[in-house]
Structure 1
Amino acid sequence: MRDAGGCRAPQARSLGPLKGRFWAAAAAKEQSYEYGSTRYLLLCGLGGMLSCGLTHTAVVPLDLVKCRMQVDPAKYKGIVLGFGVTVRDDGLRGLARGWAPTFLGYSLQGLFKFGLYEVFKMRYAELLGPEKAYRWRTGLYLAASAGAEFFADVALAPMEAVKVRIQTQPGFAGTLRAAAPRMYREEGPRAFYKGVAPLWLRQIPYTMMKFACFERTVEALYEHVVPKPQSQCTKAEQLAVTFVAGYIAGVFCAVVSHPADSVVSVLNKEKGSSALGVLQRLGFAGVWKGLFARIIMIGTLTALQWFIYDSVKVYFKLPRPPVAQAPKSPKKQK
């Protein structure tokens, strides 16, 4: 079986660390980095940094309008109107407000999200063994991604708080260099982490859906849509499958995480507010404001993130196993 880089899945040098890898069953030629090695995992983290940092920064204008729709729906009544009001008030440069904390925060988040996902997925598969790891693979994806996102959000929270404050509080500060010191001076360290709990509520379900839905969608596309086996697909064709599966996963991610995203936006804008108080004030209808903009943003983001992540693996020739396959039973192997 070949991966999206057109290379065969790696043959383990030692059965110990790959004992539970139910999907890495095929013998393969040597790669530039051994699967599961420290360098392999660091490069996966690098791919996550690029995929999250670049994509979130690219959609800052849409994210800015979405946040303002959530915190001031009377003024920003829709995507198109929101863009118009922003340009009228702040000029074209106003659409880029918050790009620096966005880039820094989501780069750190991507490092932990993708890097630790690979670590947890590998370790959980080892603990379960090949047959259980395949049979319970959806749960494995969910558990691995949840653990990775928990740590990723701790890294993201400070810059997310700065970004929202810059984008939604007029006159507060226009840059990261001005906003972060002022937040620390006025509110102390709590200003950067008061939104971490609702961030977990937003990001952990989002990431669980993102990874589990992506993994299973890739399986389904190769089984029911792509007219030839994965091993016969070119690099471009496999990356196209990655993009489509990422977009499908992104739509589900947006819906699952949007209510918590609305709470985070309002919480980081207002001093002394609490997540429960914001939720009660917004009500059921209020937490869904800006959903369409978020679907467009997150669908595109997720698709591009998986595409960039896979492209980094292709570039560095990282060993990547084929889609999950049921392990052969000992009797059949004999």
Structure 2
Amino acid sequence: MTNDTLSPSVPAASPSEKGKKNFLIPSPSEPGKIQMYSPEFYAACTFGGILSCGLTHTAVTPLDLVKCNMQIDPAKYKSISSGFGVLLKEQGFRGFFRGWVPTLLGYSAQGACKFGFYEFFKKYYSDIAGPEFASKYKTLIYLAGSASAEVIADVALCPFEAVKVRVQTQPGFAKGLSDGLPKFVKSEGALGLYKGIVPLWGRQIPYTMMKFASFETIVEMLYKYAIPTPKNECSKPFQLGVSFAGGYVAGVFCAIVSHPADNLVSFLNNSKGATVGDAVKKMGVVGLFTRGLPLRIVMIGTLTGAQWGIYDAFKVFVGLPTTGGAAPAAVPVPATELAKV
């Protein structure tokens, strides 16, 4: 990962602004409806995260359903193609979207926290580091900001994920969230909804750290080495294409890093009273790393690329710049505005 300066050009400061220190990781800034790092900026990023994660995860529900069943019952769901065939035969076409409601609500909540808090923590840690260290160690800023955001995001996701896995892997357990949630609580207790929080953190925190840090780095390198035109001279559709490409590549890395924990989450949420040791004993160490991995690479690569495309498309829609790449720094937000955040 490079350590180039994030903002090669900074607008001239007015006399009253000279001498002031802008302790934040410089981000792209261009004329628009929303001022960078204002409360409206964070609100827009939060809503963009809802669209980004909620819509994409719901769209790939059939892939997720087959993946979960391959992880839980590999003897029955031997491959991707046979897995779809078994589901179609036993449950019909509608069965492919079983669990879509907890998926939509859970990942919408997660996306809101993931993207909104990432933008917040990225600036917060940059302010602490100061401009010199924030620029020099920007990759660490990306990693720390995304990890902090994901801790919060998974607290919002975990109950929905628990019900989703149970609905998808135990036919007859429930039709969806409305009847599945009460049944789950009655069976496992309210705290049972968070039984999988630790493996969920184990899956999602490395995933999100890789997702954000690699995306930011890949996009920066694309604009620096592969694209002859400066980012601010590229069209918005072209920039969104770069966002999708960078997101897809980042998603492949994410899938590999987080896959063992993904297997654990599926196993624990499907088996009452099961432990991590039980999962390792039954699946084996190799199985934790490989079971369902090819399908998850396809799913997560497409998912992550689409998420960054949707997120940046919404930012463009409201007048904000796309994420990543070297560009002019943001105009500092007055202290009175930051106090409102």
Settle same-fold status: TM greater than 0.5. yes
Alignment partners' CA distance in 2, 1:325 and 1:58: 33
Report the secondary structure of 1:23's partner residue.
Answer: coil
Alignment partners' CA distance in 2, 1:49 and 1:11: 36
Alignment partners' CA distance in 2, 1:252 and 1:18: 36
- Report if aligned partners of 2:11, 2:328 keep a CA contact under 8 Å in 1: no
- Report if aligned partners of 1:22, 1:131 keep a CA contact under 8 Å in 2: no
Distance 1:64 1:163, change over 3 A: same
- Report if aligned partners of 2:223, 2:326 keep a CA contact under 8 Å in 1: no
Alignment partners' CA distance in 2, 1:96 and 1:12: 54
Please name the residue that 1:318 is paired with.
Answer: 320
- Segments of 4+ moved more than 3 angstroms: 8-18, 319-322, 324-327
- Report if aligned partners of 1:105, 1:159 keep a CA contact under 8 Å in 2: yes
RMSD: 2.4
Report the secondary structure of 1:153's partner residue.
Answer: helix
Deviates more, 1:231-240 or 1:146-155: 231-240
- Count residues in correspondence: 318
Distance 1:131 1:71, change over 3 A: same
Shift in Å, 1:191: 2.1
Amino acid at match of 2:178: R
- String of CA shifts for 1:230-264, please: whole Å, max 9, x gaps: 12100011111101000000000000000100010
Please name the residue that 2:128 is paired with.
Answer: 127
Please name the residue that 1:332 is paired with.
Answer: none
- Report if aligned partners of 1:184, 1:191 keep a CA contact under 8 Å in 2: yes
Alignment partners' CA distance in 1, 2:206 and 2:151: 10
Please name the residue that 1:266 is paired with.
Answer: 267
Please name the residue that 1:109 is paired with.
Answer: 110
Amino acid at match of 2:249: I
- Report if aligned partners of 1:9, 1:320 keep a CA contact under 8 Å in 2: no
Distance 1:267 1:234, change over 3 A: same
Deviates more, 1:220-229 or 1:41-50: 220-229
The one of 303, 306, 329 aligned to 1:301: 303
- Report if aligned partners of 2:25, 2:122 keep a CA contact under 8 Å in 1: no
Alignment partners' CA distance in 1, 2:81 and 2:10: 46
- Report if aligned partners of 2:106, 2:161 keep a CA contact under 8 Å in 1: yes
Alignment partners' CA distance in 2, 1:224 and 1:150: 34
Please name the residue that 1:85 is paired with.
Answer: 86
Alignment partners' CA distance in 2, 1:18 and 1:82: 57
Shift in Å, 1:284: 1.7
Please name the residue that 2:280 is paired with.
Answer: 279
Shift in Å, 1:9: 9.4
- String of CA shifts for 1:280-322, please: whole Å, max 9, x gaps: 3211222121100000000000000000000110011125676
- String of CA shifts for 1:185-205, please: whole Å, max 9, x gaps: 122112210000000000000
Distance 1:221 1:25, change over 3 A: closer
- String of CA shifts for 1:16-75, please: whole Å, max 9, x gaps: 99812343487x54x312211112101100000000000000000000000000000000
Shift in Å, 1:325: 7.0
Alignment partners' CA distance in 2, 1:317 and 1:289: 43
Report the secondary structure of 1:33's partner residue.
Answer: coil
Alignment partners' CA distance in 2, 1:206 and 1:63: 16
Report the secondary structure of 2:297's partner residue.
Answer: helix
Alignment partners' CA distance in 1, 2:134 and 2:181: 44
- Report if aligned partners of 2:216, 2:323 keep a CA contact under 8 Å in 1: no
Distance 1:22 1:149, change over 3 A: closer
Alignment partners' CA distance in 2, 1:77 and 1:319: 45
- Report if aligned partners of 1:70, 1:266 keep a CA contact under 8 Å in 2: yes
Alignment partners' CA distance in 2, 1:158 and 1:42: 24
Please name the residue that 1:3 is paired with.
Answer: none
- Report if aligned partners of 2:220, 2:325 keep a CA contact under 8 Å in 1: yes
Distance 1:9 1:310, change over 3 A: farther
Alignment partners' CA distance in 2, 1:190 and 1:17: 49
Amino acid at match of 1:316: V
Report the secondary structure of 2:179's partner residue.
Answer: helix
Amino acid at match of 2:302: T
Distance 1:170 1:11, change over 3 A: farther
Structure 2: gaps (5+ residues): 1-8, 330-341
Please name the residue that 1:148 is paired with.
Answer: 149
Please name the residue that 2:22 is paired with.
Answer: 19
Alignment partners' CA distance in 2, 1:88 and 1:119: 47
- Report if aligned partners of 1:17, 1:126 keep a CA contact under 8 Å in 2: no
Report the secondary structure of 1:272's partner residue.
Answer: coil
Please name the residue that 2:77 is paired with.
Answer: 76
- String of CA shifts for 1:70-119, please: whole Å, max 9, x gaps: 00000000101100000001000100000000000000000000000000
1:215 pairs with 2:227? no
